[in-house]
Amino acid sequence: MEIESDVPHIPDHKLSEKEFLLTTPISAEERGKIFEELTNAIKSENLAPYYKYLHEQVKDFPFDESLYKKLASKNETEIGELKSKIKEAEGEEETELDVVATTTKLAEYYTKIIDRTNATETLNKVLELTSDTGKKIDNLLTLTRLDFFFNDLPQVRKDLDQISILIEKGGDWERRNRFKAYNGIYLLATRNFSEASQLLTDSLATFTSTELCTYEQIAHYAIVAGVISLDRVDLKEKIIDSPEILSIYSSAPELEPLLNLTNSLYTCQYNCLFDYLLQSYDQLLLPNKYLHAHANYFLREMRCKSYGQLLESYKSLSLKSMAANFNISEDFLDQDLCRFIPNKKLNCVIDKVNGIIETNRPDNKNNQYHLLIKQGDTLLTKLQKYGAAVKLSGAERVV
């Protein structure tokens, strides 16, 4: 169940999502609608820096110079007042907390109006001023949201690394949960679906990070990461039977293709699986800021996973029968399997003469033997390095 965060919802991530859609192939009508929505938000919240940013980044974004000057003037007035309060606080004795508080308000205002340069600079100044671990974490999380807003994932990683160190020193339960959600989304956005799945499914029961995304979005991300990375047992437990996932069926109809895809994979209903996969691709991956870059990968890996799951039940299977199972043509299946067999993503061979797919599951004992050899070599290498560095007595060394 979603609990509304009392953390300031700055910057407004919904604006970034709308801005992202402008980079996708949408109709002129949809583009015009997004322009209008962004402009209305800019006017109501006095987002002069963001208005200028969009003007510079999006060639056809409508820009009114007089409106920009009007918004910028309001920003300057507010910033001037906040800077005056900071000077007042600095001029008084024993008011370190007041200086931190007023500087934080200035940083938050820059973040709200999406002035990235000044917001980043002021947030870093607050980090230097405060010694409170919790406040440091809060400011770093704000910085992370700002970098997420601009999809600067390398910088997000640096932010999260700093937070991780502070979390170990003294992060409370609520901040740890927020960090878990932020880290899960970062891992998802950088295609580490396995680790993302663990964090995102854990976040479902304790989610409060509404300043970054909605509950439906975190469920969306958890399902995507889970369906591609979890085995059948974990998929059943963590996604299909998850009370949190079950609870959103009625409130998030937009996730229906993804939920249907997950259920059809688990129940082996392959005849409709590719339809749900394509619907998920078109409706839930391509238009999503964090998943767009991985949409084709997801499409490919889900086909491979479903093929592999079906083939596990057979020693051999005709191309015709397997194609019928997936409701696709034999030619498409033949070509698709040939994408995955050479790199050993599927353990099978195709007998084209007889139109048969023969599985060749790897010998577990042989695999275990090679793993033992590999681990033994690694251990010997470590011992040799240790022996080269440490003298036991005289000429004796560890070998």
Q: Which residues 6+ apart lie within 8 Å of 275 measured at CB?
A: 327
Q: Flag whether 166 is in a domain.
A: no
Task: Please tell me whether residues 266 and 376 are part of one structural domain.
Answer: no
The answer on pLDDT for 1 being more than 50 is no
Task: Please tell me whether residues 119 and 182 are part of one structural domain.
Answer: no
Helix (H) or strand (E) holding 358: strand 356-359
Of the candidates 276, 297, 313, which is a domain's last residue?
Answer: 313
Go through the chain and tell me how many residues it has. Answer: 399
The answer on pLDDT for 212 being more than 50 is yes
Comparing 6 with 203, the larger pLDDT belongs to 203
Task: Please tell me whether residues 29 and 101 are part of one structural domain.
Answer: yes
Task: Please tell me whether residues 90 and 112 are part of one structural domain.
Answer: yes
Q: Flag whether 103 is in a domain.
A: yes
Task: Please tell me whether residues 338 and 221 are part of one structural domain.
Answer: no
Of the candidates 96, 130, 164, which is a domain's last residue?
Answer: 130
Instruction: Give the domain range for residue 201.
Output: 172-313
Task: Please tell me whether residues 281 and 353 are part of one structural domain.
Answer: no
pLDDT score for 391: 47
Note the pLDDT tens digit of each residue in 360-397.
876 555 555 556 676 776 677 666 655 555 444 444 44
Q: 3-state DSSP call for residue 51? A: helix
Cα distance between residue 254 and residue 244, in whole Å: 16
What is the tally of structural domains in the chain? 3
Q: Flag whether 142 is in a domain.
A: no
Cα distance between residue 138 and residue 148, in whole Å: 15
* Residue 89 confidence class, pLDDT cut points 50, 70, 90: confident
Cα distance between residue 175 and residue 185, in whole Å: 16
Name which of 310, 297, 311 is nearest 347 in CA terms: 311
Q: Flag whether 150 is in a domain.
A: no
Cα distance between residue 360 and residue 312, in whole Å: 10
Q: Which residues 6+ apart lie within 8 Å of 314 measured at CB?
A: 359
Task: Please tell me whether residues 273 and 361 are part of one structural domain.
Answer: no
Q: Contact at 8 Å (CB) between 22 and 62?
A: no
Q: Contact at 8 Å (CB) between 190 and 153?
A: yes
Note the pLDDT tens digit of each residue in 213-266.
999 999 999 999 999 999 999 999 999 999 999 999 888 999 999 999 999 999
Name which of 170, 244, 253, 188 is nearest 3 in CA terms: 244
Q: Flag whether 138 is in a domain.
A: no
Q: Flag whether 369 is in a domain.
A: yes
CATH of the domain at 305: 1.25.40.570
Task: Please tell me whether residues 57 and 91 are part of one structural domain.
Answer: yes
Q: Flag whether 26 is in a domain.
A: yes
Task: Please tell me whether residues 302 and 370 are part of one structural domain.
Answer: no
pTM of the model: 0.88
Q: Which amino acid appears at position 49 of this protein?
A: P
Q: Flag whether 335 is in a domain.
A: yes
Task: Please tell me whether residues 248 and 283 are part of one structural domain.
Answer: yes
Of the candidates 285, 313, 341, which is a domain's last residue?
Answer: 313
Task: Please tell me whether residues 121 and 186 are part of one structural domain.
Answer: no
The answer on pLDDT for 171 being more than 80 is no
Q: Map tokens 């006095």 to a residue.
A: 46
Distances (CA, A) of 127 to 21, 173, 204, 291: 34, 21, 30, 32
User: What are residue 393's DSSP bridge partners?
Assistant: 396
Across the chain, what does the average pLDDT equal? 91
Task: Please tell me whether residues 330 and 309 are part of one structural domain.
Answer: no
Tokens found for residue 313: 């039940």
